[in-house]
Amino acid sequence: MLSYLHAFHAGNFADIQKHSVLVLALRMMQAKPSAIACFDTHAGSAGYDLAGDRAMKTGEANAGVQKVWRCREQLQSDDWQAIIDELAAGNGRCGDLERYPGSPRWFSRYLREQDSLTAFELHPAEGETLSQWASGRSGTRVCREDGLQGLLRHLPPRQPRLLVLIDPSYEVKTEYEDVAETLKRAWQKCRHGVFLIWYPILAGRPHERLKGAISEGTVRKVLCQEIMLNQPPERGMVGSGMLVVNPPWGFDARLASMMEAASDSECLGITATTDWLVQE
């Protein structure tokens, strides 16, 4: 039984990091014209209402994307501008944000004619909303099945390049191990693929199981970025992490610079570290 609903958390500080990584990877990969097969293994419903009851109940977006939006004048780089422009496109430029795009929408913004997006979602209601959003969008298909198993079935893709976002809710205890095992098997099928893996940082540090399994395995060239809240809450996430397998050349410096620009207390109030978990 799936109980997680991303509408309660959309636009929080972890989404900012995750979607910054995704957009930067897409933009850097698209410097070359060859086609990219994109996969979103845990897609959610593509768009979220920040003024709705679910978002208001947790207020997570207020400490995340709304702060980024208010301090957008200080985020003066092309890499941040790509994020700001997309937020503005869904909202207008004045006042607080009312809508926040989910990962399929961020992918879709950058999808070219030669690229494709396969989005997996298991939750019945989220899957239905996602299917409605995707219907009629060329190059986009929705699979309402397990995203980790589905990904493996679709690899290797027919396009020459691969970009995968793995963004589970980690509701299931074995998910850290399952993600590590899926990465190992996916990488064996497509060694040049770019894999983006999100994980929460909780007080008990269960994400160390994921990082440990990957660092002891065969996958090479894994960048790790962690952002830690300077004023963590008593319960819940104290930070957020992203693993990036096979990042484009120069990706690490650009991502580090993005998070540094957003780190002060007026903005996200975070401390970011960007380092290699596994070297080449």
Ligand X SMILES: C[S@@+](CC[C@H](N)C(=O)[O-])C[C@H]1O[C@@H](n2cnc3c(N)ncnc32)[C@H](O)[C@@H]1O
Of 61 and 278, CB closest to ligand X = 61
Structure-token pair, residue 29: 């990969």
Instruction: Kindly state the greatest CA–CA separation across the chain.
Output: 49
- Please choose, out of 64-72, 165-173, 215-223, 272-280, the segment that lies near ligand X by the rule CB under 6 A: 165-173
Q: Is 241 in the site for ligand X (CB under 6 A)?
A: no
Helical packing angle, 103-110 and 13-29, nearest 10°: 20
Candidates 38-46, 51-59, 68-76, 134-142; binding stretch for ligand X (CB under 6 A): 38-46
Which is the catalytic residue, given 40, 115, 167, 178? Answer: 167
Contact flag: residue 44 with ligand X (CB under 6 A): yes
| Strand-pair category, 194-201 with 239-245 | antiparallel
Instruction: Say whether residue 147 binds ligand X (CB under 6 A).
Output: yes
Catalytic, 53? Answer no
Nearest to 26 by CA among 106, 86, 89, 138: 106
Q: Is 123 in the site for ligand X (CB under 6 A)?
A: yes
Near ligand X by CB under 6 A: residue from 79, 98, 146, 252: 146
Q: How far is the CB of 41 from ligand X (least distance, A)?
A: 6
Contact flag: residue 103 with ligand X (CB under 6 A): yes
Q: Is residue 269 part of the contact set for ligand X (CB under 6 A)? A: no
Using a 10 angstrom Cβ sphere, with 0-12 exposed, 13-18 middle and 19 or more buried, the burial of residue 216 is exposed
CA distance 174 to 13: 25
Q: Which of 49, 115, 140, 36 is nearest to 132 (CA)?
A: 140
Among 169, 257, 263, 271, binds ligand X (CB under 6 A): 169
